[in-house]
Amino acid sequence: MIILAVICVLLVRFSSAADDLSRGESVYKGSCIACHGSDGAGSFPGVPNLADKAGPLSRDDDVLLNRMINGFQSPGSPMGMPSRGGDPTLTDADLKAALKYMRNKFQQPQ
């Protein structure tokens, strides 16, 4: 019985993680991809490269979520990232899922 319970817990956690990635991918493709591009390298000059080891994803989640929620002007960028990626309907949970997706897709192994 205990083994079955552990398996069920692991399945729920795996399913939840997969759901978060799917949700994050949807948010990224709906709000972030226009500036950050499908490869995370940035669609035009001045947009930070998400795939760069020293880029934005090298920061802590709290810092990045604050920037995603409130907007952020990157040094050297001609335009700032709007709060909530320009979509005020995105929830904090949506943004957390998008960050999880970005880390999974673009972050280089250390």
- Residue boundaries of the structural domains of the chain: 2-106
| C-alpha pair distances (Å), 54 with each of 42, 60, 72, 109 | 15, 12, 17, 12
Q: Which residues pair with 72 in a beta bridge?
A: 81
pLDDT of residue 78: 83
In this structure, the dihedral spanned by the alpha carbons of residues 103, 82, 96 and 20, taken in order and rounded to 10 degrees, is: -80
The structural architecture, per CATH, of the domain 2-106 is Orthogonal Bundle (1.10)
> What tens-digit pLDDT sequence spans the chain (110 residues)?
666 444 444 444 444 567 889 999 999 999 999 999 999 999 988 899 999 999 999 999 999 999 999 999 988 788 899 999 999 999 999 999 999 999 999 996 65
pLDDT of residue 44: 86
Whether the CB-CB separation of 101 and 68 falls below 8 Å is answered with no
